[in-house]
Amino acid sequence: MSDLLLLGLIGGLTLLLLLTLLAFAGYSGLLAGVAVSAGSPPIRNVTVAYKFHMGPYGETGRLFTESCSISPKLRSIAVYYDNPHMVPPDKCRCAVGSILSEGEESPSPELIDLYQKFGFKVFSFPAPSHVVTATFPYTTILSIWLATRRVHPALDTYIKARKLCAYPRLEIYQEDQIHFMCPLARQGDFYVPEVKETERKWRGLVEASDTQVDGTAIGADTMSDTSSVSLEVSPGSRETSVATLSPGASSRGWDDGDTRSEHSYSESGASGSSFEELDLEGEGPLGESQLDPETEPLGTTKWPWEPSAPEKGKE
């Protein structure tokens, strides 16, 4: 009898534990719907204190913790510039920090000095006229894990289906919600100086590589021409030898195809549909990229899947 009672107690406790876990997951947003839409941004123009990170997005948790520990009451923000499924983890770039002020309000000099003391930099983001946006409950740490696995795929599907040019991908942790935002205009204004610098470096490497390959090909053609002429004027040369070594029959030794890096403009993956197709208010082609050659990203479509985020208790 005592054994049955013990088994029943164990079974009851196990069931209670499972129900508690399910309730916790539901409270964290397991059953929450993900609605993606295009419209006005969830925030206005903001001034942020940030640190730049290049590497796996899973390593950004320390940056969230650091920024939150300086001023726990401020909202956290992260900007992800690369798609980790298409860009090597060590090449993925992001900026993580805190929102110092929003709208016409200016951040206090004391607050700026405080963040700069810990190595943060200050930058301002505009308020784009239209964005692709989604929200997810932010009630527990589990909410962050659920959001990265539910919201980002939904954003990808929405953007791809409408062939929009929406990047980079921002996350704003505000009270009990996580706001996801992908600008449909003025994308270049969301690129911090470190990102622009990496773009210039990568562009320089690509151009240097192309120049070196072109020089090698020209040298090969010149040598082939010389060999052909030499054989043609030689007294005992044969036509078959000339034909074999002539420029038209020789190989360049490199492919004339695409020699661009994985960060080329053509691989951005967006066709730039206009906002008019989304039945939004406003004028102008709002789905087209607004970047100039200096600020337009060289990478693939920019959005992450599993970024780290600040702990709820430290916000």
More confident residue, 92 or 206: 92
Q: Return the pLDDT at 268.
A: 41
The correct answer on CATH 3.20.80.10 for the domain covering 36-196 is yes
Q: Return the pLDDT at 163.
A: 93
pLDDT for residue 140 is more than 50: yes
**d(Cα 315, Cα 313) in Å, to the nearest integer?**
6
pLDDT for residue 237 is more than 70: no
pLDDT for residue 95 is more than 90: yes
Q: Return the pLDDT at 48.
A: 97
pLDDT band at 102 (very low <50, low <70, confident <90, very high): very high
Both structure tokens of 135: 């929200």
**d(Cα 269, Cα 246) in Å, to the nearest integer?**
41
pLDDT for residue 209 is more than 60: yes
Lowest-pLDDT choice from 22-36, 57-71, 131-145, 285-299: 285-299
Question: Hey, what amino acid is at 275?
Answer: F
Q: Return the pLDDT at 274.
A: 44
Write down the mean pLDDT value for the chain: 75
Lowest-pLDDT choice from 174-178, 210-214, 223-227: 223-227
pLDDT for residue 119 is more than 50: yes
Beta-carbon count within 10 A of 212 CB:
10
Q: Return the pLDDT at 214.
A: 57
pLDDT for residue 96 is more than 90: yes
Lowest-pLDDT choice from 22-36, 71-85, 254-268: 254-268
Average pLDDT over every residue of 249-265: 30
Q: Return the pLDDT at 292.
A: 44
Is 179 strand, coil or helix? strand
pLDDT for residue 309 is more than 70: no
pLDDT band at 202 (very low <50, low <70, confident <90, very high): confident
Average pLDDT over every residue of 268-295: 45
Per domain, the residue ranges of the chain are 36-196
**Longest pairwise C-alpha distance within the chain:** 113
The model carries a pTM of 0.68
pLDDT for residue 165 is more than 70: yes
Q: Is 100 exposed, middle or buried (0-12, 13-18, 19+ CB in 10 A)?
A: buried
Is 3 strand, coil or helix? helix
DSSP structure string for 129-175: S-EEEEEEE-SSHHHHHHHHHHHHHHHHHHHHHHT----SEEEEEET
More confident residue, 209 or 92: 92
Lowest-pLDDT choice from 6-20, 158-172, 285-299: 285-299
pLDDT for residue 194 is more than 90: yes
Both structure tokens of 150: 């539910």
Residue spans of beta strands (DSSP E) within 161-298: 169-174, 177-183
Q: Return the pLDDT at 215.
A: 56
Average pLDDT over every residue of 80-109: 93
Instruction: Return the bridge partners of 39, or none.
Output: 131
